[in-house]
Structure 1
Amino acid sequence: MSETHRDQYLIREEPYYRTVEDEVRLYEAAYAARMPVMLKGPTGCGKSRFVEYMAWRLERPLITVACNEDMTASDLVGRFLLDADGTRWQDGPLTVAARIGAICYLDEVVEARQDTTVVIHPLTDHRRCLPLEKKGELVEAHPDFQIVISYNPGYQSLMKDLKQSTKQRFGALDFSYPGAAIEAEIVAHEGGIERDQADRLVQVAQRSRNLKGHGLDEGMSTRLLVYAAQLMAKGIEPRAAAQMALVRPLTDDPDMRDTLDAAVDTYF
């Protein structure tokens, strides 16, 4: 793989990431050991942004795969394609990452079928290789290669949890929504609003998170708070912004919407 091909996956500008605890130091140590890393936490709490930030900080290319239940092993490793000249092999994102020494980030990995996720096993132990069985090639992982996966453990059924044989190949970092002051700082920065308004949005979100398991599958994420802030920064009235970005995406239940709308009214 050429340097030009590798360069297209580099993060050019520093992504905004607010450190919460010692996750940066822990990840740097894991990367130095080329340890596979698992990021566990609720949706929209900053897992993907953290990976982008670390790839930028370490000056490593990043290849991200959004996992889904229809994804096959061939989608990850590659397949033969037909073109005007006959058949040709096209590497999948996992194979490209292994060849060029990228960080390969499998987002929401439990959404993929278990028979798909097992293809990462040879890359996550001492072998650090990827067999391309259809092509008859064994790809030795580049020394800089690392695999990172993420998922939301609180939102998965037992049928969709990771196998122990997969889990125990990774070091793990727990993510959660940051404390109120830090979350408000993030929302103000990313959304372009005043800190006072960000504080109020965070208070609404905390109300919603207390309802998880009591009518809501998930509370309002930091991502949704940023969306609401961005609408407010564009001149949308706070209550309307909160309804569009916070309440309506979260639930279709009329009673729960009324409850969340009341929380919005309390702070705006």
Structure 2
Amino acid sequence: MDSFIEQTLAMRAKRTYREEDRLLIQKGGYVSPNPNLYDDILVALSLKKPILLKGPSGSGKTRLAQSISALFQQPMQSVNCSVDLDAEALLGFKTIVSQDGQSTIEFVDGPVVTAMKRGHLLYIDEINMAKPETLPILHSLLDHRRMLTNPFTSEVIVAHEDFSVLSAINEGYIGTSPMNEALKNRFVSFSIPYLQAEQLRTVLEQAVPEAEAPVIDTIMNLSEDLSKQAANGLLADEAASVRSLINALQLAVHMPVDRAVTYAIAELLEDKMERDLVNELTATWVK
């Protein structure tokens, strides 16, 4: 792993390699659910491929992006997509600046332009929440050209050598829409599943070090049940999300586990039958 990381960093921007980067994952960064996933994503990024992360809410997609940003010592510019996302939110906007009694119009770079010019990591979250007509402006940026023409300034921007793109989607969620094929085909895609077994325990112990082992055991047992019910279609995927499990464990340090699970997991579900099922599963593990 050490030699791989060194080679990958060398392929990146010849950035200084730090010993502490080797320990990033063990110190609260992203924990890969299988031996190859994290390494393969690093290789694809090193080859300047735009990356599409597919997975349910709470599976660690944003944490993965943050870990890569830290590993490469590369600042991250973020775009949170919604139906209201427009070109200004992506590229920037014009504003009037007054100085020495004179008013001038200046352009304030948005996250996309900033990342392109400075060689930052661009993270586009929930890209399938954006209106399809908003994103074609990024097409030339995401293919071999790695450039775009800013419609607000007519400036032709060629991406910095270190510039890279990570985007994330939650498939099948309310408010999302299928990605346009012309956009999707510009990405290399990776599925990001929920953590299981010892990987999940590691994350829980790191996130809530004050939690006692029996409480963690209860949350682990419940997680397995929730995952099975979600796989059978009886629960929404987010019921088994790592984020929700961490929230429940943090609450369980200060209150009974059953109440913690109710607040952190069950009450977030829209369907009453699903809420009742979560509480019933919890009751089987809480004595």
Q: TM-score if structure 1 supplies the norm length?
A: 0.87
SS in 1 for 2:265: helix
How many residues are aligned here? 254
- 1:46-92 Cα offsets, whole Å, 9 max, x none, are 11101111111112111111111101012101121234424221111
1:182 to 175, 199, 204: 199
CA–CA distance in 2 between the matches of 1:73 and 1:225? Answer: 36
Q: Percent same amino acid at aligned positions?
A: 26
CA–CA distance in 2 between the matches of 1:155 and 1:254? Answer: 19
- 1:202-249 Cα offsets, whole Å, 9 max, x none, are 33233334444436364331001001111123x222111111111111
User: Which residue number corresponds to residue 67 of structure 1?
Assistant: 81
1:24 aligns with 2:43: no
Instruction: Return structure 1 stretches of 4+ with deviation > 6 angstroms.
Output: none
TM alignment of 1:28-107, pairs within 5 A: 28-84=42-98, 85-107=103-125
SS in 2 for 1:199: helix
- 1:143-185 Cα offsets, whole Å, 9 max, x none, are 000011100124367x711111111111111110122222122
SS in 2 for 1:63: strand
Task: Quickly say closer, same or farther: Cα 1:156–1:124, change in 2 above 3 A.
Answer: farther
CA contact (8 A) 2:239 2:266 kept: no
1:208 to 219, 226, 236: 226
CA contact (8 A) 2:33 2:194 kept: no
CA contact (8 A) 1:36 1:169 kept: yes
CA–CA distance in 2 between the matches of 1:217 and 1:51? Answer: 21
Q: TM-score if structure 2 supplies the norm length?
A: 0.82
CA–CA distance in 1 between the matches of 2:220 and 2:126? Answer: 25
Residue identity matched to 1:56: A
CA contact (8 A) 2:87 2:134 kept: yes
User: Which residue number corresponds to residue 182 of structure 2?
Assistant: 165
Task: Quickly say closer, same or farther: Cα 1:211–1:169, change in 2 above 3 A.
Answer: same
CA–CA distance in 1 between the matches of 2:65 and 2:181? Answer: 23
Quote the offset at 1:259 in angstroms. 1.8
CA contact (8 A) 2:51 2:187 kept: yes
